């Protein structure tokens, strides 16, 4: 069953994202209910999981033995995450790995946090994506309250984008790196629980660049090995 772990992982994330969205998008909102805010955070984390699953598919590790299924799952996850273009993500991400922290790297810009985030977003947002979001929003309004759509479907996607950028790009690549750092990236200190909560272990970013063939749940093992080497 181990060779199907990537499929199971992506499937569980898609299922949880869908069920959680279905529940909250039709539930009457009570601003005094603390579970509403917890629900927004959980949906944000599940959106991040969709992107990470799509990212793993880009590296071919969701279903290594079945490439068409692998990329099909990646495309589905990217589409569920605000209609992202999987083909564009795939092309740009491979450029990021090939030219990390150079002028040809589409993800790394350095400088002011918000300018960097804007440039990062500009690389991937396309007018067709915005159009698809607008159409879907107006269709959803036929059946569900506007507030629910914004808080449970739209806001978590925006927050997840910020989460992915901050923990998966900004912190690992900001500033100068030592000349012998061949991956021009750094990792957070070892804390597997926080690594999962913050960005599905992609705070262990040096490990990802060093071994891009590892799925997100295997990055903890890579971090353990690097920790042992550094002792």
Q: For residue range 106-162, what is the model confidence (pLDDT) as tens digits? A: 888 887 888 888 888 888 888 888 899 999 999 999 999 999 999 999 999 999 999
Cα distances (Å, whole numbers) of residue 143 to 26, 112, 149? 9, 41, 10
Instruction: State the number of CA atoms in the 13 A half-sphere of 207 facing the CB.
Output: 24
CA dihedral 145, 40, 110, 92 (to 10 degrees): -70
Of 17 and 229, more confident: 17
Give the predicted TM-score (pTM) of the model. Answer: 0.91
Span between the terminal Cα atoms of the chain, in Å: 34
- pLDDT at residue 229 tops 50: no
**DSSP letter, residue 28:** P
**Per-residue pLDDT band at 231 (split at 50, 70, 90):** very low
E strand or H helix at 135: helix 127-140
Which class for 68: exposed (0-12), middle (13-18), buried (19 or more C-beta within 10 A)? exposed
Please report, for the chain, the start and end positions of each structural domain, with discontinuous segments joined by +.
2-178
Q: What is the pLDDT of residues 11-51, one digit of tens each?
A: 999 999 999 999 999 999 999 999 999 999 999 999 999 99
Is-contact 224 192, C-beta < 8 A?
no
């Amino acid at each position: 069953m181990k060779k199907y772990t990537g499929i199971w992982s992506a499937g569980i994330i898609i299922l949880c994202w869908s069920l959680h969205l279905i529940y909250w998008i039709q539930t009457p909102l009570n601003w005094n209910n603390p579970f509403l805010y917890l629900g927004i955070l959980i949906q944000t984390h599940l959106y991040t999981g969709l992107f990470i699953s799509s990212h793993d598919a880009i590296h071919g590790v969701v279903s290594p033995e079945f490439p068409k299924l692998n990329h099909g799952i990646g495309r589905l996850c990217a589409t569920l995450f605000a209609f992202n273009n999987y083909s564009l993500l795939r092309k740009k991400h491979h450029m990021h790995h090939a030219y990390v922290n150079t002028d040809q790297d589409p993800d790394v810009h350095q400088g002011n946090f918000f300018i960097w985030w804007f440039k990062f977003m500009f690389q991937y947002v396309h007018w067709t994506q915005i159009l698809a979001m607008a159409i879907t929003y107006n269709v959803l309004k036929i059946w569900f309250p506007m507030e629910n759509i914004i808080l449970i479907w739209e806001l978590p996607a925006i927050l997840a984008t910020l989460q992915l950028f901050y923990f998966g790009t900004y912190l690992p690549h900001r500033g100068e790196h030592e000349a012998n750092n061949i991956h021009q990236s750094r990792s957070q200190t070892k804390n597997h629980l926080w690594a999962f909560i913050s960005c599905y272990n992609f705070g262990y970013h040096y490990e990802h660049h060093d071994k891009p063939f590892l799925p997100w749940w295997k990055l903890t093992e890579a971090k353990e090995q690097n920790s042992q080497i550094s002792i």
